[in-house]
Amino acid sequence: MSDEEMIRRVVAARLRQQLGRGSSRPLIDENAVNAIAEGGELILPPNALVTPLAQQAALDRRIRLVAASDTPYTQMDGNTLALGADHGGFALKEALKAELQGRYSIIDCGTNSAESVDYPDFALAVAEQVASGKVWRGIMIDGAGIGSCMVANKVPGVRAALCYDYATAVNSREHNDANVLTLGAGLIGSALAKQIVETWLKTPFGGGRHAKRVDKIIAVEHKYGK
């Protein structure tokens, strides 16, 4: 057995152990995907947790992951985004929405004015859209992007990343499979924000050695009963 195969088995076993302690969500790992004939289809049970290694195996072997409702559970690409902001990020949210409309379907989670509001409310709304599978990815903007990132990462299934330049946008997707992006409107201008968003949306998850590390992130999440 190769070192890579041994690591995969250890990670998969650890995930199953943690799920058994704190969650009833069924786990779909790469072994489940590899049991399907290449080019086939795997029907997923409700509320299934699909590991990044399983996602990569499905991509490599052209296997379509489908929920019982016939809606793809894990999409390598998509066209529906959730956008949110507090009062500090409202103007930038509107600018990004105008830029993205026509290419993506947008669910605007608010806020709808520059009147003072609390960022946790809107960060939670965006994160829940992503975690539920209703949207492909989410973008949340506040003054610094830090607080919203903290809130979003409390929601099971969300991996939020605060990005402030091209490199962090690429890294968060390629290495961490981030599905929520947070931005600090008070720290970056509109032009840079648009570049970050475009880069983040177009950068695929790298898989490979990164997948086993994201699996460990998921294991930590389930260790604490999320």
Residues known to be catalytic: 175
DSSP three-state, residue 83: strand
Query: Among 179, 113, 114, 185, which residue's Cα sits nearest to residue 147?
Result: 185
Residues 6+ apart with CB under 8 A from 60: none
What residues pair up with 138 in beta bridges, in sequence order?
A: 82, 180
Angle in degrees, 0-180, between the axes of helices 190-202 and 90-100, rounded to the nearest 10: 50
Q: Fill in the DSSP letter of residue 214.
A: H
